[in-house]
């Protein structure tokens, strides 16, 4: 454990997702949103974390991250815990689209340029 880590720090890791899609509400100007769904192995908070780039990449990586509170590891859930998270893609798109990054798979989604 280094000086910045304490037992009070939340634990974050990549988690799996089942479906990722880009939706665009019927408004002008178009505002595409990434919607990711899946099932959690145990209770945790889920977020979408865009990677940082110096210049615009072909595919912009967005990680699916699960966070648990500090303390001992969580016990598996008795039942499935579905999750859905969204991210506004304004300013977060590669030249061809986005790449959703989970624990065991990635998925590239093309986003048309306007």
Which tens digit of pLDDT belongs to each residue from 10-52?
688 999 999 999 998 777 777 899 999 999 988 889 999 999 9
**C-alpha distances in Å from residue 59, one per residue of 28, 34, 56, 90, 101:** 24, 14, 8, 15, 11
- Examine residue 114 and state whether it is found in any structural domain, yes or no: no
- Examine residue 113 and state whether it is found in any structural domain, yes or no: no
Q: What total of structural domains would you count in the chain?
A: 1
Q: Which domain holds residue 64?
A: 11-71+79-107
- Examine residue 6 and state whether it is found in any structural domain, yes or no: no
In this prediction the pTM is 0.83
- Examine residue 4 and state whether it is found in any structural domain, yes or no: no
pLDDT digits (tens, 9 = 90+) for 58-67: 999 999 999 9
- Examine residue 27 and state whether it is found in any structural domain, yes or no: yes
Residue 87 has pLDDT above 90, yes or no: yes
**In this predicted structure, what is the pLDDT of residue 5?**
47
CB 98 within 8 A of CB 51: no
- Examine residue 46 and state whether it is found in any structural domain, yes or no: yes
- Examine residue 47 and state whether it is found in any structural domain, yes or no: yes
Q: How many CB atoms lie within 10 A of CB 59?
A: 18
- Examine residue 97 and state whether it is found in any structural domain, yes or no: yes
């Amino acid at each position: 454990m280094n000086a910045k880590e304490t037992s009070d720090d939340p634990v974050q890791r990549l988690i799996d997702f089942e479906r990722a899609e880009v939706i665009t509400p019927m408004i002008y100007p178009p505002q595409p949103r990434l919607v990711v769904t899946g099932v959690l192995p145990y209770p945790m908070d889920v977020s979408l974390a865009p990677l940082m780039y110096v210049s615009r990449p072909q595919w912009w990586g967005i990680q699916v991250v699960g966070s648990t509170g500090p303390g001992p590891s969580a016990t598996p859930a008795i039942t499935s815990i579905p999750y859905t998270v969204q991210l506004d893609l304004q300013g977060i798109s590669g030249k061809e689209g986005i790449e959703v990054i989970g624990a065991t798979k990635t998925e590239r989604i093309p986003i048309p340029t306007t």
